[in-house]
Every structure is written in C-alpha cells, then in structure tokens.
Amino acid sequence: MQTIVAFALPPYETDPAVRKAAKLIQQGELVVFPTETVFGIGANALDKNACRKIFEAKNRPIDNPLIVHLAAREDIYRYAGSTLPPYAKLLIDRFAPGPLTIVVQNSGAFPDVVTAKLPTVCLRVPSHPVANALISAAGVPIAAPSANRSTRPSATNARDAWEDLRGRVSMIVDSSMTPGGIESTIVDCTGEHPAVLRDGIISREEIAAAVGIPLERLGDTRPTITPGTRYKHYAPDVHVHAVRSGENESKSFSRAIELYRKGKNVRVITLNKLSTVPAEIQVVLETPEAFARSIFSLFRAAERDGVEHLFVVLLPEEGIGRGVNERIRKAAGER
C-alpha cells in the first residue's frame, strides 16, 4: 500500500490534506493524524471492516478495544446519553474538548471490533485543531489508538508514525509535534465514583478537583482493568532502566558511569541536571510537562542513535509525573 504524507496547514476546515484524509476515512481507509496527546491511527468507528484494518496495521491484539474520537462535546451526550452520572458531566464540562477519555455504557452504536465486546466504550473529544477538522469533515466518529506498532513507543510526530506504519496506512497527516506527548487520561464513568484507569495528561488531582468527590481506588473494589494494560507497551529496542530516587539512584548512576567508561553507548534522561553524571550523556528536561512531551520521541531517538543503556530518572509521583512514570516503567519491562 502506498502511504501519502501531507502537511496540514490552517485554515484546517478547507485544507486539502484534511479534506483528502476525511475522504479516505469515509472510504473505509486508515489515516494517521495528530491529536493534542499523541498521533492516532484512525478509521470510521461505525465501519467494522475499516476498524479491523487498524488491528492488522498495528499488529494489535483483537481483545484490546479502541477509543472513539468525536467532533464536539455534544456528541458525547448523543452516544452516552442517559447513562451518564452527574460527575461525568462535570468532567466533560471541564475537560472536553481535551485529553480526557471517558468510559461509558456502549449504546450499541459501535461494532464489537471497537469495544472488544465489552458492554462499555471509550469516548474522547480531542482539542487538536487538525483532529477536530478531520472528524468534522469525515462526518463520522473516528476510532483511533496511538499510531505505533503494538508494543512500541507512541508516535508524537509524523516521522515516528512513518517509521512504524509506512505501507500500512493510506495517509499520514503531518503537523507539528504533539503538545501533550503522553496519552489521554482514561476515567471510568460507569460506577458510583469516577475511577482513573490510565494516568495521562490530566492528573488525578485535576480530575478529583473537577468532580468534588473521591475517586474510586481500583484494586480495592474491582480489578484495575483497561485491557491494554495487560500487554507489553511503549518499549523501544533499547535496554531501559527506570531509576527511582533514594539510595538506588546513586547506585544506578554509578552503573551508568561504569558502562560509559567501558565504552558502552549510554544515555541518561533526567528532570534535573545531575552533578555526578558526565554532561555529554545527559538529556535534561527541566519540567514534568517537557518530560511528558519528549519522552516517547527520546525513546525512539535513543534507538536510532544506537544507545545500549538508557537510564530514565522517574519523576515525583504526582500530577503528570504519575502518567510519565507509568510509561517509563512499562518501557523498562516492569508491570
């Protein structure tokens, strides 16, 4: 399959690349497009044959359901309708459009291939103007997982998506690097209290503040299950070491320095500059937001640069740091 790559330029409503992409979606083809979190690989969510192609292109296990992307907040009410608890409305008012995904009862609108036969479905209204223009122009909801091959780091730019998906999708809509860098926060809205199933750009603290009631602590009441968490994830073809703070930290840095002195290709990704580690092997990101924005592309850059040992210093376990740490731990092969 030939993959067209075209850059989207404003005004997106009339942009030829967006128009072409919308047409392909309507024809049942796959299109890679930017969102405010990461790039997605999209298909018409109402067309089961089109959605099946996503699983083939990504080599994704068929029991891992997809997020449905909608053009406007009102569309959430159209698909989730009467089953929404009051706290879900508060979340929608506060965070949609934006990097929030809610789990709601499937009204029956979406085929089994989208929901993996669960009684629920994930809905999200992206705030990225290209995603928004594409969904509006296509006139259908777009099912889209992250635009990487299964097990690989998510793509935060068109080049990274191209690396994994060229020849497997009809089109890649190019745009600047995605501003968020990690995926949306998934909140289960089917229970009495909201439950965060996947940490993401919006922090638990922000979710809790918006709803004004305690979050359900999964694990206590029911399993922490989004089907995707069962699988290997986010992993580059590099030995990733997740570095915890405390005593282990200095041990890890000694190990990094030792490997480097032995001539190994070593890199350290860190929030704050490390005085004990040679400057030439450090990537210093300075803010948790910058860390989130860059982490997936740095995983892929390390791979391309032939890095053998990538040490990544975990962030404080709060705010966006929680979501970033989850990606680092998974990349390092931890559960």
Contact flag: residue 175 with ligand TXA (CB under 6 A): no
Contact flag: residue 30 with ligand TXA (CB under 6 A): no
- Contact in structure between 135 and 70 (CB atoms under 8 Å): yes
Q: How far is the CB of 105 from ligand TXA (least distance, A)?
A: 10
SS3 call for 93: helix
Alpha-carbon distance 180 to 280, whole Å?
A: 27
Please choose, from the candidates 256, 271, 282, 251, the residue with its C-alpha nearest in 3D space to the C-alpha of residue 314: 271
Contact flag: residue 146 with Mg ion (CB under 5 A): yes
Chain residue whose CB lies nearest Mg ion: 146
Residue identified by tokens 């594409």 is: 134
Nearest CB to Mg ion, comparing residues 148 and 203: 148
Six-digit token pair at 282? 């450090």
Q: How far is the CB of 163 from ligand TXA (least distance, A)?
A: 17
Contact flag: residue 197 with ligand TXA (CB under 6 A): yes
Residues touching Mg ion, count (CB under 5 A): 1
Nearest CB to ligand TXA, comparing residues 15 and 183: 183
CA distances from residue 6 to 3, 141, 170, 192 in whole angstroms, order as listed: 10, 22, 11, 45
Q: How far is the CB of 317 from ligand TXA (least distance, A)?
A: 21
State the DSSP H helix or E strand holding residue 23, giving kind and residue range, or none if neither: helix 16-26
Q: How far is the CB of 42 from Mg ion (least distance, A)?
A: 13
Q: Which stretch binds ligand TXA (CB under 6 A): 32-40, 257-265, 277-285, 316-324?
A: 32-40
Q: How far is the CB of 52 from Mg ion (least distance, A)?
A: 17
Report the residue from 24, 67, 169, 172 that binds ligand TXA according to the rule CB under 6 A. Answer: 67
- Contact in structure between 300 and 147 (CB atoms under 8 Å): no
State the DSSP H helix or E strand holding residue 5, giving kind and residue range, or none if neither: strand 4-7
SS3 call for 32: strand
Alpha-carbon distance 56 to 153, whole Å?
A: 18
Contact flag: residue 150 with Mg ion (CB under 5 A): no
Contact flag: residue 243 with ligand TXA (CB under 6 A): no
Alpha-carbon distance 44 to 52, whole Å?
A: 10
Contact flag: residue 37 with ligand TXA (CB under 6 A): yes
Q: Which stretch binds ligand TXA (CB under 6 A): 86-94, 117-125, 209-217, 270-278?
A: 117-125
- DSSP string over 301-326: HHHHTT-SEEEEEPPPSSTHHHHHHH
Site residues (CB under 5 A) for Mg ion?
A: 146
Which residues of this chain interact with ligand TXA, rule CB under 6 A? Answer: 35, 37-38, 40, 64-67, 101, 103, 115, 118, 120-122, 124, 144-146, 183-184, 186, 197, 226-228
